[in-house]
Structure 1
Amino acid sequence: MPIHHRKTLLTAVALTAGLSLAAVTPALAGASASHTTRAAAVSSAQGDPRNATQHVADFYGAYIDAVWATDDKSAGAALKALRGFYLSAAAQKKVAAFEKKEHADGILFAQNVPVKWRVAYTGSGTGHATSRVTLTWGDGPHAEVSRIDVQSDLKTLKITALKPVR
């Protein structure tokens, strides 16, 4: 078979497979209405790697994903790598000290995992930006909410301090 015909055949097979996958995936993912709702809740996302608040949001999103993935053997290494990349050395030491003393996660200030998170810019000054992280610990109208103020260095974007809001 000439190369041109093979390329055409492979392209047709790949296109058919892609379209089949696109048609089947929603049906498989939507085994229950709640899965479909969760998938549809975030239909697009964007970011800016130069923005300190976005950097905090990226960190918390990836961190919570890794903590949530209890059956994934690579999650522990991912958590360590995320802390190393996003937190300053001093912040890493403070988090470790908190965890040793409180026997709780020093990023979430808890022993369990939130189901939702939100990050908002709250101000800046003296070379730092502050973001407020809101963690939601369940679904429904009576879900518990906690807040953490996160300070970031505007030059490096590293998280330099985390403080639970009481």
Structure 2
Amino acid sequence: MSVRSRKTLLTAVALAGGLTLAAVAPALAGTGTSHTTRAAAVSSQGDPRNVTQHVADFYGAYIDAVWSTDDKSAGDADKALRAFYLSAAAQKNVAAFEKKEHADGILFAQNVPVKWKVTSAGSGAGHATSRVTLTWSDGPHAEVTTIDVQSDVKTLKITGLKPVR
């Protein structure tokens, strides 16, 4: 075999090996069992006039704030979010629940969910109801709870929260 043929063969083998490694490496990177943050391809958009979107924005920001216990800048974020998104009456009801139950009155729990989803559950008489689904762990048998969130259609303020039994 000539030197040129060997170089061509070695180049082809090296190129094929490199391409195979490039194709397999991303798949192998996600196979570990560590609890590190995993980036996902998520696309999001919003409409500040949409009541359900407003509730989704609140729950997303609120969960981020209470999840970030090691971030000192998140300390007062949950209070600011409540003040912005909840009506005065809803804030009082949440505070009363928290005093009585010693649990978070937005999540109706003492811990923080790992996932959340918000869907429209209907509207009428100037109010809209959004159904918030909270997932508390990963895996096939994860606990899921739901909350009905009532909002004023005109102001978009959350006026009531009720766990669904």
**Normalising by structure 1, what TM-score?**
0.77
Q: Which moved more, 1:132-141 or 1:72-81?
A: 72-81
Question: In structure 1, how many angstroms separate the alpha carbons of the residues matched to 2:127 and 2:41?
Answer: 32
| Alignment correspondent of 1:98 | 97
- 1:55-82 deviation per Cα after TM superposition (whole angstroms, max 9, x unaligned): 0000000000001000011212110100
Aligned to 1:53: 52
Give the residue type in structure 2 aligned to 1:93. Answer: K
Partners of 2:82 and 2:39 lie apart in 1 by 27
The gaps in structure 2 that reach 5 residues or longer are 1-28
CA-based RMSD of the aligned residues comes to 1.6
CA distance in structure 1 between the partners assigned to 2:37 and 2:96 by the alignment: 39
**Aligned mates of 1:47, 1:114 — CA distance in 2:** 22
Structure 2 residue aligned with 1:126: 125
Q: Deviations over 1:31-57 (max 9, x none)?
A: x52789831242x11000000000000
The number of aligned residues is: 134
Deviations 1:94-148 (A, max 9, x none): 0000000000000000000000000000100010000000000000000000000
Q: Which structure's CA Rg is the greater one?
A: 2
5 Å matches for 1:33-112? 33=30, 38-42=38-42, 44-112=43-111
- Structure having the higher helix fraction is 1
1:101 alignment partner, SS class: helix
1:144-163 equivalences under 5 Å are 144-163=143-162
User: Structure 1: which 4+ aligned runs deviate by more than 4 Å?
Assistant: 34-37
Question: Aligned in 2, Cα 1:155/1:118: closer, same or farther, shift over 3 Å?
Answer: same
Distance in 2 between the 1:133 and 1:40 partners? 21
Identity of aligned residues (%): 85
Query: Equivalents in 2 of 1:48, 1:134: separation in Å?
Result: 20
- CA 1:153–1:37 in structure 2 vs 1: closer, same or farther (change >3 Å)? same
Distance of aligned partners of 1:65 and 1:37 in 2 relative to their CA distance in 1, 3 Å threshold: closer
Q: Are the aligned partners of 2:69 and 2:75 in contact in 1 as well (CA < 8 Å)?
A: no
TM-score (norm 2): 0.78
2:36 & 2:99 partners in 1: Cα distance? Answer: 40
Are residues 69 and 37 of structure 1, via their aligned partners in 2, closer, same or farther at CA, if it must alter by over 3 Å?
A: closer
1:40 maps to a residue whose letter is A
- 1:143 aligns to what SS in structure 2? coil
Match of 1:11 in 2: none
- Provide the rounded CA distance (Å) in 1 between the counterparts of 2:64 and 2:75: 11
Which residue identity does 2:87 align to in structure 1?
S
